[in-house]
Amino acid sequence: MHLIEQHRHENVRQVWLRTLKKVYNEGERIVDQRGNNVIRLHNVFVEIPYSWMLKCHIDNERMEDAFLDDLISPDMNTNFDYTYGQRLAQNRQIEMIAQELEHNINSRRCVATIFYPDDMSYSLYNKKEVPCATQLHFQHFRDKLHLHCIMRSNDIVGAMPSDMFGFGNLLQFMCTLKELEPGTFSYHIIDAHIILEHYEERLKQLEII
């Protein structure tokens, strides 16, 4: 596992840039299922101990705000046949987690599922996009509420800042709702990747290459 922790002097943007450099310098170069030249690193774990910092924008304020709107709203958008908000709204998952925390603050069952079994058939036969985030797990530990986000796949350049900003704000929302103190935001990426054709100029701007 590649563990990337936030240093005391760092903000969240600096953590993201270190993650980018690690994937670029240590990743495996492959051609993915779409024919893109990709650098990927397996099993990257990013932990942000001061989750209040996630309220700060990481890279692209417009895109991060748009992602947050999609995360909160249950409405479908036009680019995908799902939004994270729509998936989380099904079966009242966030509401049920809030109720579970009210009933038992030390519960180990505060889990929201984003990736559904039918998504495999979409991928195999319909070629539709399926969620990159698979699961969210809230846990109260040592007087703080922590959020663990599991990603099956993550575009480190284009998607990671919006994902971290959106899910970090979801942790803040839950803490505000339940009057709890936020703890760590843990971001577990099974396949962390950079699509070279899409982001060569951006990588130069960020001084990754």
User: Which helix (H) or strand (E) covers residue 72, if one does?
Assistant: helix 61-72
Assigned domain for 173 exists: yes
Find out whether 166 and 129 touch, Cβ atoms under 8 Å: no
Is 72 a domain residue?
A: yes
* Structural domain includes residue 199: no
Q: Work out whether strand 144-151 and strand 181-195 pair parallel, antiparallel, or are unpaired.
A: parallel
Q: 206 lies in a domain?
A: no
Model confidence, pTM: 0.90
195 φ, ψ (degrees, to nearest 5)? -90, 105
Neighbours of 111 (CB within 10 A): 17
Give residue 191's identity as a one-letter amino acid code.
Answer: D
The answer to whether position 22 is within a domain reads no
Transcribe 123-170 into DSSP letters: IIII-----SEEEEEEEEETTEEEEEEEES-EETTTTHHHHHHHHHHH
Across-strand partners of 12? none
Say whether pLDDT at 151 is over 90.
yes
pLDDT digits (tens, 9 = 90+) for 190-201: 999 999 999 999
Q: Are 170 and 176 in contact (CB under 8 A)?
A: no
Question: If DSSP codes are grouped into helix, strand and coil, which group holds residue 183?
Answer: strand
pLDDT at 24: 97
Let me know if residue 128 belongs to a domain. Answer: yes
In a domain, 17, yes or no: no
In a domain, 7, yes or no: no
* pLDDT, tens only, 7-50: 888 889 999 999 999 999 999 999 998 899 999 999 999 999 87
Say which range, 51-55, 62-66, 90-94, has the weakest mean pLDDT: 51-55
Six-digit token string for 79: 């680019």
Residue 209 to residue 204: CA distance in whole angstroms: 5
What's the structural domain count of the chain?
1
DSSP 80: S
Here the CATH number for the domain that contains residue 180 is 3.30.572.10
**What are the tokens at 144?**
């703080």
Residues in a beta bridge with 39: 29, 194
**Span 103-118, average pLDDT:** 94
Domain that holds residue 84: 44-192
Distance CA 54, CA 147 (A): 12
**Averaged over 136-162, what is the pLDDT?**
96
Average pLDDT over residues 135-140: 98
